[in-house]
Amino acid sequence: MNFNITEEQELIRNNMREFAAKHVEPLAAEIDENSRHPAELFQKLAEGDWMGIPIPEEYGGAGADYLTHIIAVEELSRSCASTGFTLSIHVGIASMLVLLFGTEEQKKQYLAPMARGENLGAFVLTEPGAGTDIMAATTTAQADGEHYILNGTKIFISNGPTAGTYLVFGWTDKSAGRRGMSAFIIPRDTPGMTPGRHFQKMGLRSSQTSEVVFKDCRVPRENLLGAEGAGMTMAMTGFDHGRIGIAAQCVGIIQAALDESLRYSKERVQFGSPISRQQAISFMMADMATELSAARFLTRHAAWLKDQGLPFSKEAAMAKLYSSEAAMRQTVKAVQIQGGYGYCKGAKVERLMRDAKITEIYEGTSEAQRMVISANILR
């Protein structure tokens, strides 16, 4: 049994740590406050090949494994969970789905620019009436000769306002049930597809979220991703990959909560000594460090299974479930440790706590993860 990451992974982690300290940490509070997409930061990430780590070099990526990408997301999220998430969904779902299911032509035309960081990917599935219950989706993709015509409204689409490449899911044959949904690669500015305005959110504020509306949007047949009717299966595969990314984002959040708690508790003096000497506080941090390790091992294990070509759906769900709930628990504690100071704007822990909440909701709620895990163990 080997728990070590490779020398390359360690160096890459250290480089991302340095990158994040230099370029991300100084921006994080401002982009949160202004709910701004830091395009200049993504330009720098692209220059360092961070935007397509697990994508083969022939398709514009760095050609490393998935675990390396996961380690980078973790380190990036430690400085800014929003930026970590944007990278995660761009690589883990949008790019991975084109890599796994795209034709050679699609990989050259759409995957390579994404992997080079020339544009962002978006995963366009959720609808106002279809969250966990994907079958309740109503967006249709009607075949029309060499085209499909898409109609419907998608909601809570991450990278919606900023993406260049949209992976859109709609019914090609509603009567076929789970086998009736298909996926399409739709480039930005395709007539009939309108990304809506960015939503103001509680946390993860610099990640851009919007509606995407389809009104008689004509998409050529060659933009169909995978087989017609394979949309649902591909969406699930996308979730499996993406969930490890969310878990890594959560590990970054917990690590940041611990960093902040250690720093603050050693400096803050009450009753004549630093509060880190109070058992009530030190035990909170002991739990934080323990849950951090557990989350990190679950997350890296899921990524490792993926890299070995082994099944990882259950483990990805476990990693996402545990890490997101631990992130919520521990960021609440981190605010508690900093008291009134931690509750005020400008305290990093305040942002971490707001950022943590969404991780229990998106890319499958905690309840949805439990559905996946229980279905796996009850088989």
Partner 1 sequence: MSTIIACFKWVVDEAYIRRNSSGSLDFSSVDFKISEYDRNAIEEAVRLRDDHGGTVIAMTVGTPEAAKGVKDALSRGADQACFIADEAFSDLEPSLTAAFMAEVIRGRFADYSLILCGEGSGDLYAQQVGPALAEYLEIPCVSYVQKVSLRGEVLVAERRVEEGIEVVEARLPALVTVCPDVNVPRIPGVRDTLGASKKPVMTLGRADLVFSGGPFLRTVSLTAAPMDRSCERFPADSTGIRSFVDALQKKGVIP
- The residue with tokens 């984002």 is 249
Cα 203 to Cα 348: distance, rounded to the nearest angstrom? 12
Q: For residue 58, count other CB atoms closer than 10 A to its CB.
A: 12
At 201, the amino acid letter reads K
- Residues at the contact surface with partner 1, assessed by CB under 8 A: 7-8, 10-12, 14-15, 18-19, 22, 47-50, 53, 57, 62-64, 68, 72
- For tokens 């890299």, the residue is 307
298 and 74 in contact (C-beta within 8 Å)? no
| Closer CB to partner 1, 12 or 31, in the complex | 12
The single residue listed with the structure tokens 């298909």 is: 182
Q: Residue 23 CB, nearest distance to partner 1 (Å)? A: 9
Tokens coding 30:
């401002």
Nearer to partner 1, 49 or 363 (CB): 49
What is the C-alpha to C-alpha distance for residues 219 and 152, in angstroms, rounded to an integer? 14
* DSSP state letters, 75-101: HHHHH-HHHHHHHHIIIIIIIHHHHHH
Amino acid, res. 375 = A
Say whether 325 is catalytic.
Answer: no
Query: What span, in angstroms and rounded, lies between the C-alpha atoms of 362 and 250?
Result: 12
User: 47 or 287: whose CB is closer to partner 1?
Assistant: 47
> Is residue 164 exposed (0-12), middle (13-18) or buried (19+ Cβ within 10 Å)?
middle
Residue 11 or 286 with smaller CB distance to partner 1 = 11
Least separation in angstroms between residue 7's CB and partner 1 is 5
Catalytic residue among 222, 228, 363, 367: 363
Q: How far is the CB of 24 from partner 1 (least distance, A)?
A: 12
Q: Which residues contact 256 (CB under 8 A, 6 or more apart)?
A: 77, 78, 79, 81, 348, 352
Contact 299, 248 (CB under 8 A): yes
Shortest separation between residue 49's beta carbon and partner 1, angstroms: 4
Q: Least CB distance from residue 19 to partner 1, whole Å?
A: 5
Active site residues: 363
